[in-house]
Structure 1
Amino acid sequence: MNQQRKNTRPHGGKPSGGTKPSGPAKGGTVDRRQKKKKASTLDPKLFVKKAKPTGQAGFRTEKSFQDISLDSRLLSNILHKGYQTLTTIQDQSILPLLDGRDMMAISKTGSGKTAAFLIPIIEHALKDPRNYTALVVTPTRELALQIENEFKSLTAGLHLYSATFIGGTNINSDYKQLERKLQVIVGTPGRLLDLSDRKLLKLNQVNTLVLDEFDRMLDMGFVNDVKKLVNLIGRRDQTLLFSATLEPAQKQLIASLLHNPIEVIVENAGGTNENIEQQTVHVPEGADKFGMLAAMIKSPDMEKVILFAETKRLADRLAKKLNQAGVTAGQIHGDKSQNFRVKMIEEFKKGNIRVLVATDVAARGIDVADVSHVINYQLPMTMDAYIHRIGRTGRAGKVGHAITFVD
């Protein structure tokens, strides 16, 4: 591990408590007033691209996990999960992170980045479990839960402990979890700051800080929360930033967070997965857009579909109308309770519902195997949003499909 040092920290303002920025005005299936106020300016041609299947499961290399000097118990768990060879991001990240280096890593969604930072964290924790704490900060609840599930599967039988602290849950249940020594803490910014303010979470004991989906964290308005968390942590051994995209405007903030970092940029990280067939569907004026959607989804090829809507109200209406049309559907968005969101994702994973209707805020962190199609009911507002959305399909070397409706 590196010598501890004090980085120059930016100072954030009053914490937001994790409150999400206000979204666009709520509207119906086709809210004309909303469209006039805020319509996408992206060229629909950006959403058309032929798939070029690589045949690689998650951008894998030929390097085996057995080639890395890892604790034998951790290695056994890695192999038990079916991981044989490293993905590109893992190959370029794990060794520097084992050496204690700071890192800025840019890699596509679904490229194996969670294991890329968890494996070194676990290795460090095994060496000194009583004095080691890693904090993983994520923009969404679903992503936080996904990361902790991955940690638990990698640490089965290793006597390392973790907890997830997210909004939408009873904060009283967090107290008991914090009574135990935790090697890994995962959470969303608002809940973490709340627990720190209540003197329950001692952030100054964190050795390793991971900011996952850093780009999305900033997009969602968490910049001041992130700055406050960093200031409360203070001195630390290691800082990791993982992101799918990198904006030039973020570079100054990133430089203030990292000390002599390794930069890892997986080829075409800011682009879309080559395994995804991308196309648009034109909606003629006066046509029944929902009818076109329902007919499309009833195709047998649409085995497991994530349907993106721009507003919470629209997500609710689409899910209701799909069920009325005989298509099993559920929805997740920021107004739904955490228990409801977890239940919907589990039902989707099991195949009990064919279509999961989601907004961008709720969708980050959905980790479901074999999503056959991602459908955008409206043009996405940004390319970053589009990249992250369609990253839910075309995983593990399989061909996925992304369809965008164009009014």
Structure 2
Amino acid sequence: MSNNRSGGGSGRPNNRRKKSSNGGGPNRGGGQRRGGGGRRSTHVYKPIAAELMVHEAVPMKKVEYISKTVYADWDLSPKLKIALRNAGWVRPTQIQEESFASIVDLRDVMGIATTGTGKTGAFLIPIIDALLKDEPFQTLCLAPTRELALQIEEEFKTLSKGTTFTSICLIGGRNINTDIQRLKRDYDLVVATPGRLKDLHQQKKIDLKQASVLILDEFDRMLDMGFQKDVMFLADQMGERDQTLLFSATLDKTQKKLIDHFLTDPVTVAVSSGEASAEHINQTVRYVSGDEKFDVLIEMMQEPELKRVLVFAETKHRVKKVTKKLNQAGIKADEIHGNKSQNYRQKALKAFKSGQIKALCATDVAARGLDIDDITHVINFEAPTDYDVYIHRVGRTGRAGKTGEAITFVDN
């Protein structure tokens, strides 16, 4: 097989994998591949009803999935089977087992699965298998965070051991000139965060038309972090695609039109409900008159169990005032909102993650994409006006299987 890979800097071979005509089996067949292809409102503040914000946590139940097959039985390249065995992978997870045939048949797939369900393997296993069996092609994988992008590339390296396949990870926080130099060669897999990839594309350092497969991982978080326009732009720059795979932990009905922009006649594989939930978070309200809110917040923040606290307010002005009051009371706090630069925001987040500050005060928009696993408490200094926003706020705590605490101030 020719080793003339498609990649960032040179011409790609004019070939496409063949789409199965029988649709459904794991064996490849004949047939041609198909192309793929805020401002805050001014309405009067009216918070959601207090009873919607009271709930006793229900511990998260872990349901163990027993696969019907093992990797050794799958129609995979021997090299991939060896790599899986060496990595200690014996049985597929549910998302891997249920999405494999559709991905092999070159269908667009929408996978609904939470973190920790093996979704990275769900797309890497059939992609690597296809690289071993078919003509060369390039895959572009977009991820919302640097950490996830690095993790995807690391897993690709693990599962492609013993092959000549190559990958590159394009993320912010690194010297872009190093990326530019590395893009002078070809890659089978390009993993990137939207911001860095868009920057490189606008500098004409990468030709996105060379990729024929697009993977959008943790799609809901990309939207949450404000990457919608960038992701749409990058996908459109690819032009005709052979396949698009989209993975998301949650699925909002309002996103249907957007998802239809990326996927054509997709197969949906859902191993979770797709609904954002706060069932595992203790939720309480405190009835406080407006004048007393600051005093009550300061008193609460002195309790030892409040170790890392995210405080939400409705406006930038109120966030600023809350932060000032906390600092004046000797409680280390910082703020993120639209009037703060990206550099300031990153410094505040770093201080919050490292424990240098106890409280981070934020507006909803500024809190997009906060990737912090051990927030002990979320405090709504002001209740939101929308229930989905409320669920999104309180979902910042209780991550990684932990029970979280959410407290909302309600006007007395």
The reply to whether TM is greater than 0.5 is yes
Which structure 1 residue ranges, 5 or more long, are not aligned?
A: 10-20, 25-35
Deviations 1:40-87 (A, max 9, x none): 55333222221111353xxx52448x95466665676688xxxx9987
Q: 1:350 and 1:121 mapped to 2: Cα distance?
A: 33
* Map of 2:333 onto structure 1: 329
- Other structure's SS at 1:360 match: coil
The within-5 A match list for 1:7-406 is: 7=35, 9=37, 21-23=38-40, 37-40=43-46, 42-56=48-62, 61-63=64-66, 67-68=70-71, 97=103, 101-107=107-113, 111-112=115-116, 115-117=118-120, 120-121=123-124, 124-125=127-128, 128=131, 131=136, 133-137=138-142, 143-151=144-152, 154=155, 161-165=167-171, 175-176=180-181, 178-179=183-184, 181=186, 183-188=189-194, 192-212=197-217, 214-215=219-220, 225-284=230-289, 286-333=290-337, 336-338=340-342, 340-406=344-410
Q: 2:199 and 2:149 mapped to 1: Cα distance?
A: 20
Q: 1:78 and 1:99 mapped to 2: Cα distance?
A: 27
Q: Percent identity?
A: 40
Deviations 1:235-254 (A, max 9, x none): 33431223344344543443
Contact 2:377 2:397 in 1 (8 A): yes
**TM-aligned CA distance change 1:338 to 1:287, over 3 Å:** closer
**TM-aligned CA distance change 1:397 to 1:43, over 3 Å:** same
Q: 1:392 and 1:91 mapped to 2: Cα distance?
A: 30
AA matched with 2:148: I
**TM-aligned CA distance change 1:252 to 1:169, over 3 Å:** same
**TM-aligned CA distance change 1:299 to 1:220, over 3 Å:** closer
**TM-aligned CA distance change 1:267 to 1:6, over 3 Å:** closer
AA matched with 1:380: P
- Other structure's SS at 2:294 match: helix
Q: 1:378 and 1:164 mapped to 2: Cα distance?
A: 39
AA matched with 1:208: V
**TM-aligned CA distance change 1:263 to 1:337, over 3 Å:** same
Q: 1:224 and 1:98 mapped to 2: Cα distance?
A: 29
Alpha-carbon distance, 1:298 to partner: 1.6
* Map of 2:6 onto structure 1: none
Contact 1:97 1:117 in 2 (8 A): no
- Other structure's SS at 1:121 match: helix
Alpha-carbon distance, 1:332 to partner: 3.8
Which structure 2 residue ranges, 5 or more long, are not aligned?
A: 1-16, 20-31, 73-79
- Other structure's SS at 1:229 match: helix
Report which of the two structures shows the higher radius of gyration computed on alpha carbons: 2
Contact 1:305 1:374 in 2 (8 A): yes
AA matched with 1:373: H
TM-score by length of 2: 0.70
Q: 1:89 and 1:259 mapped to 2: Cα distance?
A: 20
Q: 2:201 and 2:389 mapped to 1: Cα distance?
A: 31
**TM-aligned CA distance change 1:231 to 1:367, over 3 Å:** closer
Q: Could you tell which deviates more after superposition, 327-336 or 212-221?
A: 212-221
Q: Could you tell which deviates more after superposition, 308-317 or 67-76?
A: 67-76
Q: 1:94 and 1:405 mapped to 2: Cα distance?
A: 47
Alpha-carbon distance, 1:308 to partner: 2.6
Higher relative CO (Cα under 8 Å, sequence separation at least 6) belongs to 1
AA matched with 2:216: L
Aligned CA RMSD, in angstroms, stands at 4.1
- Other structure's SS at 2:291 match: coil
Alpha-carbon distance, 1:326 to partner: 2.2
**TM-aligned CA distance change 1:271 to 1:328, over 3 Å:** same
Q: 2:147 and 2:235 mapped to 1: Cα distance?
A: 23
Q: 2:214 and 2:193 mapped to 1: Cα distance?
A: 12
